[in-house]
Structure 1
Amino acid sequence: MGTPSSFVADLNDTFWSWLLIPLVIAAGLYFTLRTKVVQLRLLPEMFRVVAEKNPPDPDGTKPVSAFAAFSISAAARVGTGNIAGVATALTLGGPGSVFWMWAMATVGAASAFVESTLAQLYKTRGDEPGTFRGGPAYYMERGLRRRWQGALFAVVITVTFGFVFNAVQANTIVSTGRTSFSALRGSWFEPVLGLALVLLLGVIIFGGVHRIAHVTEVLVPAMAILYILLGITVVLCNIGDLPRVLADIVGGAFGFREVAGGTVGAAIQHGIRRGMFSNEAGLGSSPNAGAAAQVSHPVKQGLVQALGVFFDTMLICSITAFIILTTDPDLSERRGADLTQTALQTTLGAWAGHVLTAVVFMLAFSSMIGNYYYGQANIEFLTGRRSVLHSFRILVLLAVFGGALGSVGLIWNLADVAMGVMALVNLSAIIPLGVIAFRLLDDYQRQRRAGGNPVYRHRPEIADPRGVECWESATARV
């Protein structure tokens, strides 16, 4: 009889291989065709929108901008999955898995566009001045009139991101710290570092959504730039190996060759799974951050979140893959962040391992912030009682402390199952609601062709007005 961890792993493989991966691909292709490849066609527009500045509200409150919402979602997207997850995909699926990560990001960006556009349309006002909240739970209730489905999604995402994923991030920080500071290791190391993480996260999450946005606006660009610079340095040092790496990626993806025991099926499965885990396209998590932005048209945040998928996979995940593959490692020996750390040290020396520890801390800690916000947005959907939100915050901090002390193997497998359930619930909502996102995109493009900055005035032919709260009617005087 297998262990609980192996049982969950087998269940996970069956669930993803036979149900989730085909559904995710089909949904992404459907949205790609219906939006006329919006994720590539409007790529320049994405960069324009993400840089837009919002003026302060009449009461002087600084609203959450499109870039701030992008930062919150990137904080959750860009985490240890970009370092440990890509390395794991390489060991299980070979270099070909990188190609399928890229393919998943390209197709999945259309799903990210649809879900975040819907989140903007169906958002509601937050408790803090100038804030909004929303996400799948809200468009399930307001768009589909299915409160029960929204409640189910809210519970699943709160447990998955608020507790499980935050425990994983804390465990990864402690793991890399243990390697870098081996001279200081002792029975006190994990509890002390875990307590430090609890205190840092507690200061931020009890400070509200504005503090979350302002912290991630600084942290996410800093961590991305540092990691990209490290990756570019490694690639330049091994530039002669780059043609071989690209050949291995393409060859492994289509079965022209097998590397480290990876087959085509394994490359596809692990590339898509790790790609979805990393960029979260169609998962239903990033719309919670997208709904927090104050923009003039729902499509703007849809475009911003689609850009986030490319930022995560095409840039950050690719950097990790090139760091590892240009050093030509034995992929059968190591797995996870340890593989990335070894590759860095092989090329740059021992100091690079310490730098990676700092990068992992920034990546994982910012992910904790974004993960917490997703849970908060959904707790507020389930109940307006402040005591419940405060209890949730305390439980999140306990999960972080427990993750710093515990083993993460079974938790990762359970997290994959929970993530799959999230995706199923979310996709079952955005597929029927997608037609509304298509109408919003048509409205946005019509205004852009006229030379204006698109401003949305709600019209009943786009969506049922009963579910739309925060957008002024087109019949109202501006």
Structure 2
Amino acid sequence: MLILLLGTGVWLTFQLRFIQVTHLIEGFKRTFAPLFKKQEKEDGINSFKALATSISAQVGTGNLAGVATAIAAGGPGAIFWMWISSFFGMATIFAEAVLAQVYRVKKGDQFVGGPAFYIRDGLGSRWLAGFFAIAIIIALGFVGNMVQSNAITVAFNEVIGADSLSFRLILGMAIAILIGLILFGGIQRISSFAANVVPVMALLYIVGSLVILVVHADQVLDAFQLIFDSAFTPQSAAGGALGATIKEAIRYGIARGLFSNEAGMGSTPHAHATAQVKHPTNQGLVAMVGVFIDTMVICTLTAMVILVTDAHHSGLEGSAITQEGFARGLGSFGTPFIAVCLLFFAFTTILGWAYFGEVNVRFLFGQKGIGLYRGLVLIFIVLGALVKVSFVWEMADTFNALMVLPNILALLAMSFVVKRKWNEYKG
């Protein structure tokens, strides 16, 4: 799986001549420039709202609990491999967004698309498209959203100190009710909510992290050095032989990087397919920005806070490690701060993932399956609040693999379509 993911990113990077280096700035311009000038009114969802929906899914527990888990299991060196997966992942997600735009279809007044569509219509494989659709419904709509509600519950347990079954049940039900109110409004309500909430929550988290790093400025360079040293030495994880520790650093770094930025998973193309753009590659460039913000900015800030505060040696697990880092950095304000951030991160991710699963329910069963699907999503959100952290993460890794495989095969088989569109765009 790791070879497939990295290999696909490397292949697409060379095919597109290091597009994530040469055109990342253009991606930022296409993403944010329209916000500062008057635009003509457009039908449907604009590029920024599509990106906000994508980032709402990308920026979640992977940025807080996932980074902490990677460091705890693979050592600080796991962050280096997370960066590597992010760098090549930008080329991968560019390809996903382009294919999603090329093979999308119009349903009513909205465009829908994603891997199931480009696997069926581009690759010509209905059974593989069906397999992907089933896998993503389970992986994100059900199991993935259990991860998100679990992380919210753990975070608020740390603040309130009421880790009882009844507390978890009440919190899980509250999350499910709020999600249901927005989810039943469809992609327009979800994208509008994401466009308003995502920038605020990201800025809030970035500012809080930077405050801690400024206070611990004398330790920042040491933390970066630790990351690079641990990526290739026995320091990568506590104990074990050299091969095992480096293996764990690579495994957890790439796995958690994938879970965080979702490049190659086949999830975010569903959001990018909805955007109204002049050329498919426009949204591909915007999609790269999502990976950069998710991993290179937010995940890196999380890792640095954990390392400069030495929270990774606290003996805790999951999001509790991140909370400990912020508690040490911001004092008594730190624990509730990260709990609120995690609430927003996980909440928006649940919305994004629920929508991605919904697109695939429609792909398989049409409108008649939507009501049942939405009800099951809400049930799994409640269940996620009740189970243990490690169990949920292991399930998530397993089902993520099932949805990654058909998507990666399609990306490799149709890379010529992506390259052709890119050459067409450049003229």
TM-score, normalised on structure 2? Answer: 0.95
Cross-structure match for 1:56: 41
- Taking structure 1 as reference, are residues 139 and 122 closer, same or farther at Cα in structure 2, changes over 3 Å only? same
Q: Are the counterparts in 1 of residues 328 and 334 from structure 2 also a CA contact under 8 Å?
A: no
Q: Are the counterparts in 1 of residues 75 and 235 from structure 2 also a CA contact under 8 Å?
A: no
1:224 aligns with 2:216: no
The residue correspondences of 1:300-315 to structure 2 (distance < 5 A) are 300-315=282-297
Q: Are the counterparts in 2 of residues 56 and 63 from structure 1 also a CA contact under 8 Å?
A: no
1:407 to partner: Cα distance: 2.9
Cα deviation per residue 1:349-386 (whole Å; 9 max; x = unaligned)?
121101111001000000000001101111111122x2
Cross-structure match for 1:4: none
CA distance in 2, matches of 1:225, 1:198: 26
The range that moved more, 207-216 or 325-334, is 325-334
Alignment partner of 1:140 out of 112, 119, 124 = 119
1:25 aligns with 2:6: yes
CA distance in 2, matches of 1:88, 1:187: 24
Cross-structure match for 1:321: 303
Q: Secondary structure at the match of 1:254?
A: coil
Q: Are the counterparts in 1 of residues 154 and 320 from structure 2 also a CA contact under 8 Å?
A: no
Alignment partner of 1:402 out of 383, 386, 401 = 383
1:198 to partner: Cα distance: 1.6
Structure 2 unaligned residues grouped into runs of 5+: none
CA distance in 2, matches of 1:257, 1:341: 24
* Counterpart residue type for residue 247 of structure 2: G
Alignment partner of 1:421 out of 402, 405, 414 = 402
- Taking structure 1 as reference, are residues 256 and 196 closer, same or farther at Cα in structure 2, changes over 3 Å only? closer
Cross-structure match for 2:357: 375
CA distance in 1, matches of 2:102, 2:206: 34
Cross-structure match for 2:246: 264
1:171 aligns with 2:153: no
- Taking structure 1 as reference, are residues 185 and 278 closer, same or farther at Cα in structure 2, changes over 3 Å only? closer
CA distance in 2, matches of 1:76, 1:157: 13
Cross-structure match for 1:458: none
Q: Are the counterparts in 1 of residues 56 and 194 from structure 2 also a CA contact under 8 Å?
A: yes
Aligned residues: 419
- Taking structure 1 as reference, are residues 96 and 379 closer, same or farther at Cα in structure 2, changes over 3 Å only? same
CA distance in 1, matches of 2:236, 2:406: 36
Cα deviation per residue 1:75-94 (whole Å; 9 max; x = unaligned)?
11110111011001111111
- Taking structure 1 as reference, are residues 442 and 99 closer, same or farther at Cα in structure 2, changes over 3 Å only? same
1:311 to partner: Cα distance: 0.8
Q: Secondary structure at the match of 2:255?
A: helix
CA distance in 1, matches of 2:236, 2:143: 34
Q: Are the counterparts in 2 of residues 119 and 291 from structure 1 also a CA contact under 8 Å?
A: yes
1:410 to partner: Cα distance: 2.3
- Taking structure 1 as reference, are residues 24 and 188 closer, same or farther at Cα in structure 2, changes over 3 Å only? closer
Q: Secondary structure at the match of 1:89?
A: helix
CA distance in 2, matches of 1:403, 1:91: 22
* Counterpart residue type for residue 375 of structure 1: G
1:171 to partner: Cα distance: 1.4
Q: Are the counterparts in 2 of residues 94 and 261 from structure 1 also a CA contact under 8 Å?
A: no
1:260 to partner: Cα distance: 3.6
Alignment partner of 2:262 out of 280, 290, 294 = 280
Q: Are the counterparts in 2 of residues 284 and 422 from structure 1 also a CA contact under 8 Å?
A: yes
Cross-structure match for 1:389: 370
1:153 aligns with 2:135: no
1:342 aligns with 2:324: yes
CA distance in 2, matches of 1:97, 1:84: 14
Q: Are the counterparts in 2 of residues 90 and 331 from structure 1 also a CA contact under 8 Å?
A: no
1:185 to partner: Cα distance: 6.0
Alignment partner of 2:60 out of 60, 79, 84 = 79
Q: Secondary structure at the match of 1:383?
A: helix
Structure 1 unaligned residues grouped into runs of 5+: 1-19, 447-478
Cross-structure match for 1:364: 346
* Counterpart residue type for residue 417 of structure 2: I
* Counterpart residue type for residue 72 of structure 1: T
Alignment partner of 1:246 out of 215, 220, 224 = 224
Q: Are the counterparts in 1 of residues 78 and 236 from structure 2 also a CA contact under 8 Å?
A: no
Q: Are the counterparts in 1 of residues 53 and 190 from structure 2 also a CA contact under 8 Å?
A: yes
CA distance in 2, matches of 1:162, 1:256: 38
- Taking structure 1 as reference, are residues 336 and 187 closer, same or farther at Cα in structure 2, changes over 3 Å only? closer
CA distance in 2, matches of 1:305, 1:235: 28
Q: Are the counterparts in 2 of residues 173 and 361 from structure 1 also a CA contact under 8 Å?
A: yes
Cross-structure match for 1:181: 160
Alignment partner of 1:441 out of 406, 422, 425 = 422
Q: Are the counterparts in 2 of residues 101 and 275 from structure 1 also a CA contact under 8 Å?
A: yes
CA distance in 2, matches of 1:186, 1:97: 33
Cross-structure match for 1:473: none
1:110 aligns with 2:95: no
1:283 to partner: Cα distance: 1.1
* Counterpart residue type for residue 139 of structure 2: T
CA RMSD of aligned residues (A): 1.6
Q: Are the counterparts in 2 of residues 171 and 405 from structure 1 also a CA contact under 8 Å?
A: yes
Q: Secondary structure at the match of 1:64?
A: coil
- Taking structure 1 as reference, are residues 156 and 349 closer, same or farther at Cα in structure 2, changes over 3 Å only? same
* Counterpart residue type for residue 407 of structure 1: K
* Counterpart residue type for residue 192 of structure 1: I
Higher helix content, 1 or 2: 2
1:205 to partner: Cα distance: 0.8
* Counterpart residue type for residue 216 of structure 2: N
* Counterpart residue type for residue 418 of structure 1: F
TM-score, normalised on structure 1? Answer: 0.85
CA distance in 1, matches of 2:237, 2:309: 14
- Taking structure 1 as reference, are residues 81 and 145 closer, same or farther at Cα in structure 2, changes over 3 Å only? same
